[in-house]
Chains A and B, each alone.
Chain A
Amino acid sequence: MALQSLDIQRRSATTVQPPIIRTPATNSGVAKLIDTSKCIGCKACQVACMEWNDTRDVIGSNVGIYDNPMDLTSESWTLMRFAEYENPNGNLEWLIRKDGCMHCEDPGCLKACPAPGAIVQYTNGIVDFHQENCIGCGYCITGCPFDIPRVSPADNRVYKCTLCSDRVAVGQEPACVKTCPTGAIVFGTKEDMILHAQGRIEDLNSRGFDNAGLYDPPGVGGTHVMYVLHHADQPGLYSGLPEDPQISPSVSLWKGLTKPIAVGIMALTALTGLFHYIRVGPNEVSEEDERRAREDDYA
């Protein structure tokens, strides 16, 4: 077992349980909590992510807004998204959200992936891509309710935030957490993070944010990256954070019931042919048929 993992909760395109014996004592795994009310938009997390993961995105150009780069890419696994919101009192609120993989408990990417072992979910909840098994089909993008995975044009493999699974595996926090200067990003067991969020929400409530709350969407079984939002009743304000994300019904059907039923019916069709032949026998042209054809020709 030297080089294998014993903590694989789910594995893409795999119909049996992968090795799962090593499960953390905290049964809900780990979580990263991003407090949008503490974020100052400095992008240190983006830099730390690039640095730790050793990715270098192409240098873009300034289009007049703060977002840089403009979107997640195969090299930029996290991104500050800046939204200017005019609240009902007529005041401007600058809502900054660190976007990236949410590490869903029920990951749509993993469900959609056709390549065995290209996507795994560890028992601590982290959803990780294994690019050596990736075939570049992009089904994970089709499956993701948050529009996160990106195909690299360089190698046709898909990349996204790993929640620094390599750091977490050796007891360290993710690089973005490590670097955040305001403590807007914290990391720990999911229980602890929910507790921490409760304290933050009380504080925000006392400051007049009556709708402050935790974003841990149940539609995907909860996530291992959560947000504290000042306006938890309107997640859409934060650069289109989905209100009630879930795996699309098309994807669920495509990757769920359709698979066994379709394979079963195809096999049955072939078997029906076999048994039809066995029971009825071949449909042959007899000497008689040939003779009558000849007769008819002269008729």
Chain B
Amino acid sequence: MPDFKDRDLIVRYSANQRTNHWIVAITFILLALSGLALFHPAFYWLTNLFGGGQWTRILHPWIGVVMFVSFVIFAATMWRSNLMDKRDWQWVKQSRDVVNKREDRVPESGKYNGGQKLLYFLQIILLLGLIITGIIMWRQYFWAFFPIGVIRVASLLHAFFAFVLICAIIIHIYAGLWVKGSVRAMTRGTVTPGWAWKHHRAWWRSLRDQRRRSTDTPIE
């Protein structure tokens, strides 16, 4: 990799966005571990990470509230750049090309590609489903508000939403690791021009045009 002068790097995420992302990420990991512990006996030992079964039961819903609130803030800041357009649907249709590294054949992406945008909306649906069913299941404070039939369906749905979310996040994490140069966007906030040009060319171009308009000269 060539050396980059700081001014060449492109800012993708602000310090606030990165902080927000990692709060969501950490709470997600804690929720997945404690949730799996209560979902399948094979994972019950994970309750030890939280101070035992009672503590796992006490903490899980509170961590869920933190995740939901921080996710809502995070998602709100990037709503506009995640709206799907025709280009993105074409990208999704050609996802076979994407996973086989034939990205040059698919339409250019904006700040987010079709897959990221679909994941974004999937997460919104799942998080809403999880917080609603989670509150219904939160016996200590909410047992009196819901009939047993509702609690039963909510318990099943909570497990289902969580299962889909875990699979989605495994894909999200893998995508970040697979596409080299992505992790630094969320750790240091910047990406290289080549990364932006290769993976999000429409975004890269709009940034270039913006810069040209403001300085009226290309960067050196």
Contact = CB atoms under 8 A, between A and B. Distances in A.
Chains A and B belong together in one complex: yes
Interface of A: 13-15, 114-116, 133-139, 141-142, 147, 151, 156, 248, 250-251, 253-254, 258-260, 262-263, 265-266, 269-270, 273, 276-277, 280-287, 289-294, 296-298
Given A136-B54, A142-B155, A285-B180, A298 B218 contact: yes
Nearest to B160: A258
Q: Which 9 A-B pairs rank lowest in CB-CB distance, beginning with the nearest?
A: A290-B194, A135-B53, A293-B197, A138-B139, A273-B174, A289-B194, A13-B41, A293-B193, A250-B152
Contacts of B156: 250-251, 253-254, 258
Contacts of B177: 277
Given A250-B155, A282-B178, A296 B139 contact: no
A266 B170 contact: yes
Contacts of B2: 287, 290
**Most chain A CB neighbours (cut-off 10 Å) among B155, B174, B180, B193:** B155
Given A290-B2, A294-B193, 16 more contacts: A15-B42, A114-B41, A133-B53, A156-B140, A248-B149, A258-B159, A260-B40, A262-B40, A263-B42, A266-B167, A277-B177, A283-B180, A284-B181, A289-B195, A293-B198, A296-B197
Contact of A137 (B100, B139, B194): B139
A139 B139 CA distance: 9
A136 B57 contact: yes
Given A115-B53, A250-B152, A293 B40 contact: no
Interface of B: 1-2, 37-42, 44, 47, 52-54, 56-57, 99-101, 103, 139-140, 143, 148-149, 151-153, 155-156, 159-160, 163, 166-167, 170-171, 174, 177-181, 192-198, 204-205, 208, 218-219
27 contacts: A114-B41, A114-B44, A135-B53, A136-B139, A136-B140, A137-B139, A142-B151, A151-B139, A151-B140, A250-B153, A251-B152, A251-B155, A258-B159, A260-B40, A265-B163, A266-B166, A280-B100, A281-B101, A282-B180, A284-B181, A285-B1, A285-B181, A286-B194, A289-B194, A293-B194, A293-B198, A297-B219
Contacts of B163: 258, 262, 265-266
Nearest to B153: A250
Nearest to A283: B179
B53 A296 contact: no
A15 B172 CA distance: 32
Contacts of B159: 254, 258, 262
Nearest to A143: B152
B139 A289 contact: no
A284 to B, nearest CB: 5
Contacts of B44: 13, 114-116
Contacts of B41: 13-15, 114, 116
A251 B181 CA distance: 45
B155 A270 contact: no
Nearest to B152: A250
A156 B139 CA distance: 10
Contact of A248 (B40, B57, B152): B152
Contacts of A287: 1-2
**Most chain A CB neighbours (cut-off 10 Å) among B152, B204, B219:** B152
Nearest to B56: A135
Contacts of B1: 285, 287, 290
B163 to A, nearest CB: 4
Nearest to A268: B167
Contacts of A258: 156, 159-160, 163
B32 to A, nearest CB: 9
Contacts of B181: 284-285
Contacts of A265: 163, 167
Contact of A285 (B56, B57, B195): B195
**Most chain B CB neighbours (cut-off 10 Å) among A156, A265, A291, A297:** A297
Contacts of A147: 148
B170 to A, nearest CB: 5
A288 to B, nearest CB: 8
Contacts of B166: 266
B39 A285 contact: no
A294 to B, nearest CB: 7
A133 B53 CA distance: 8
A9 to B, nearest CB: 17
B167 A297 contact: no
B155 A139 contact: yes
A285 B193 CA distance: 10
Contacts of B57: 135-137
Given A248-B149, A280-B101, A285 B192 contact: yes
